Amino acid sequence: MSVDLIGYISSDISLLGSLFVVGLMGSGHCIGMCGGIVAALGSNRPSLQLLIGYNLGRLLSYSIAGAMAAALVIGVAGERYQQLIPILRTVAGTMIVLMGLYIAGWWRVLTRLEQAGQLIWRRIQPLLLRLGKPDSATKAVAAGMLWGWLPCGLVYSALSQALVSHSAVAGALSMLAFGLGTLPAMLAGGWFSARLARWLQSIALRRLMGICLVALGLFMIWQVQQVGHHH
């Protein structure tokens, strides 16, 4: 096994933790994007059962998307997949940097990616409308699974990390780790305190989290360069 491949596999140990951190730091953005579901669930403070059901569905969709993304890249690349890992990791790090700039409000280039995602969302949104008010746990899970495909630069940035997973299962776990990172803020903002939700979306905090994401993305890119130099 080549030295650079050993380095990349060993670095995967921190991938789940990194994606959890990405979700945690971007969770204020999540509340802004998905906050409308709280009203759809019934009130300013929906039942905890419905809120958990919605978030469970959202995490399921993220996991499915991660598995699909990883399987697609591995299938298309074939035997060349290992050779593409440095490029994929560099792209993934760059996406995290761009997401940090987006969250901080300094450069919203990822809105173009979100606009492209509207092509898929236009096909899914009618299903959400047909589902109606999610007034049961089952409907809440279904609504969450549909809302999980809402165009979101943060999700796309996390998906870029799933591309460097070595299997569909690893891709699903990567996106699950990201989703779990967003979970505390989504539950807290939807159930415990609207004031907390507003604080998570404050300009100062968004800029701080944006800076952290930029630093994380640059570190990821630096890791790729270090492994390449070692090889």
Is residue 116 in a domain?
yes
Is residue 40 in a domain?
no
Q: What is the DSSP letter of 109?
A: T
CA separation for the pair 66, 75 (Å, rounded) = 14
Which tokens sit at 223?
Answer: 């890791």
CA separation for the pair 160, 178 (Å, rounded) = 12
Q: What is the mean pLDDT of the chain?
A: 82
Nearest C-alpha neighbor of 109 from the set 43, 153, 45, 48: 153
pLDDT at 38 over 70: no
Is residue 41 in a domain?
no
pLDDT at 42 over 70: no
pLDDT at 183 over 50: yes
Is residue 90 in a domain?
yes
Average pLDDT value for residue range 23-42: 68
CA separation for the pair 185, 138 (Å, rounded) = 22
What is the structure's pLDDT at 197? 63
Residues 147 and 182 sit within 8 Å (Cβ to Cβ): no
**Amino acid at residue number 164:** V
Domain count, the chain: 1
Which residue has better confidence, 15 or 83?
A: 83
What is the structure's pLDDT at 27? 76
Is residue 38 in a domain?
no
Is residue 170 in a domain?
yes
| 69-111 pLDDT tens trace | 999 999 998 889 888 989 999 999 999 999 999 888 898 888 8
Q: Report the length, in residues, of the chain.
A: 231
How far the first Cα of the chain sits from its last, in Å, is 12
Is residue 150 in a domain?
yes
Q: Token match 């890992």: residue?
A: 85
CA separation for the pair 79, 24 (Å, rounded) = 35
Range of the domain at 167: 3-30+46-226
Is residue 36 in a domain?
no
